């Protein structure tokens, strides 16, 4: 049951389109996945895809799938080959126009769909700060960054206000996927509908004003910011953007070419619409195959490089090689194709590779300061699951190849040891598996195994193992 005050407002907004809008709620929600272009390419995946897929029209690597196919339970999901993402949610990042080597902030990043989409665009180059203010959600964000094999993400658990004091005018691109009243998710999420109220819409709009203000402070002159919500409320959409633009003369709304089915933002729903408000975009469920979304592309006037933070807090310079020699030995023996670029840093006994030119992270709550490489244990090094998911077969000396339809991959995901007999391997030297090997499913990295005595010991993390 849709809230009556919500329906009254939508009828006033949509007029003759209102009937089609309400009727769209009788239809089933759409399900989609987005391919991880660091793991595969569209052509290669479609050749062996076990799913019936239809392309999401506004993105090259997004596809609708049939609900009963359950790709979230397929081994490819655990290998980070794709991210299950609502199709409309794939749109905002496309207009951020991220390039490799840039400094990018995803300010409200959990659970990680848009962060991992940004990481795809960056191709492992540059600095991606993915932030989430709520600790439990930040943990989920970090787990998804790991599963998708992201190399250059720093996951933080901070408030926008705190980050604004640390990173003034630092980022080239910023995404603000703002917490909102969730009206666009009513068809998909019963809780969003049950928790809705006009009072919450007003509270969300106030919170969005503060978040967007902080984000603006962190964008360099000439930078680009995308503000997005999953609500229809003008107070949270055109209203939030207009209040920001009207109070920040150094920002403007950028004109964009909208895909078919995307509709213009509306100034007529506001008392003081900002110039160019019609260039914002609304995604409506009666116009497209997707849920309700809104986004706006904002640009900061001026030119110039990002502010260098080294003069104030210094940079993450990294450890001397003597401090991570066990990893270097492991790399020499097992990872001939891995060339880590950045700063090697330690958090306790954990070794990370921070992105190149990472500023000092001192004073920040950091869950993941880059790629987790592994753990130091009594004069030896044990590689992490995150490292396995960031690698390809070309990076390692030894691979164990499993197939998605075989019994072995199920046994591996359940945590069982595997016999080497009958399993294809590609190794250097005598062709016999020994020691650490990358376990792959149809060529996609899935985790680590350790071969000895005719068996491959399972190193798939216990917390991720499938129950038999």
Within a 10 A sphere around the Cβ of 370, how many other Cβ atoms? 28
- Cα dihedral: 455, 377, 398, 421 (round 10): 0
Active site residues: 230
Instruction: Residue 370: name the closest of 382, 356, 380 by CA.
Output: 356
Task: Tell me the two tokens of residue 359.
Answer: 């500023």
SS3 8: helix
Instruction: Residue 439: name the closest of 468, 410, 466 by CA.
Output: 410
Contacts for 16 with CB less than 8 Å, ≥ 6 apart: none
Rounded Cα distance between 236 and 3, Å, is: 18
SS3 151: coil
Rounded Cα distance between 202 and 70, Å, is: 37
For strands 171-177 and 103-106, give the pairing.
parallel
Rounded Cα distance between 149 and 128, Å, is: 14
Instruction: Residue 381: name the closest of 328, 344, 427, 428 by CA.
Output: 328
Q: Is omega for the bond preceding 218 within 30 degrees of 0, making it cis? A: no
Rounded Cα distance between 447 and 40, Å, is: 17
Within a 10 A sphere around the Cβ of 417, how many other Cβ atoms? 12
């Amino acid at each position: 049951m849709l809230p009556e005050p919500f329906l009254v407002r939508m009828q006033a907004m949509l007029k003759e389109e209102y009937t089609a809008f309400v009727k769209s709620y009788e239809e089933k929600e759409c399900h989609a996945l987005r391919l991880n272009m660091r793991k595969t390419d569209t052509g290669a995946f479609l050749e062996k895809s076990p799913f019936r897929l239809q392309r999401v029209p506004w993105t090259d690597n997004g596809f609708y799938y049939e609900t009963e196919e359950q790709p979230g339970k397929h081994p490819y999901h655990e290998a980070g080959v794709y991210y299950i993402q609502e199709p409309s949610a794939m749109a905002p990042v496309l207009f951020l126009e991220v390039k490799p080597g840039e400094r990018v902030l995803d300010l409200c990043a959990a659970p990680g769909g848009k962060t991992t989409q940004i990481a795809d665009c960056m191709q492992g180059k540059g600095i991606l700060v993915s932030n989430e203010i709520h600790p439990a959600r930040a943990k989920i964000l970090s787990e998804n960054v790991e599963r998708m094999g992201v190399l250059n993400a720093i996951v933080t658990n901070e408030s926008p206000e705190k980050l604004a004091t640390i990173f003034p005018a630092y980022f080239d691109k910023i995404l603000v996927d703002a917490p909102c009243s969730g009206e666009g998710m009513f068809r998909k999420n019963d809780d969003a509908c049950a928790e809705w109220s006009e009072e919450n819409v007003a509270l969300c709009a106030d919170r969005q004003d503060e978040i967007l203000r902080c984000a603006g402070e962190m964008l360099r002159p000439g930078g680009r910011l995308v503000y997005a919500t999953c609500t229809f409320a003008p107070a949270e959409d055109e209203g939030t953007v207009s209040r920001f633009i009207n109070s920040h003369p150094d920002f403007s709304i950028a004109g964009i070419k909208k895909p078919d089915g995307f509709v213009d933002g509306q100034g007529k729903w506001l008392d003081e619409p900002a110039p160019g408000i019609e260039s914002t975009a609304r995604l409506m469920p009666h116009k497209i195959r997707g849920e309700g979304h809104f986004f706006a592309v904002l640009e900061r006037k001026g030119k110039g490089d990002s502010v260098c933070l080294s003069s104030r807090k210094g940079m993450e310079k990294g450890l001397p090689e003597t401090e991570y020699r066990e990893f270097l030995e492991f790399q020499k023996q097992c990872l001939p194709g891995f060339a880590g670029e950045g700063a090697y840093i330690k958090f306790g006994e954990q070794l990370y590779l921070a992105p190149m030119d990472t500023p000092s992270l001192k004073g920040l709550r950091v869950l993941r300061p880059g790629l987790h490489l592994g753990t130091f244990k009594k004069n030896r090094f044990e590689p992490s699951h995150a490292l396995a998911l960031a690698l390809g077969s070309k990076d390692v000396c030894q691979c164990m190849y499993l197939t998605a339809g075989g019994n072995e991959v199920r046994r591996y995901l359940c945590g069982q040891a595997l016999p080497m007999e009958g399993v294809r391997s590609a190794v250097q030297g005598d062709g016999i598996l020994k020691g650490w090997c990358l376990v792959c499913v149809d060529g996609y990295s899935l985790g680590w195994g350790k071969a000895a005595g005719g068996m491959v010991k399972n190193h798939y993390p216990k917390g991720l193992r499938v129950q038999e």
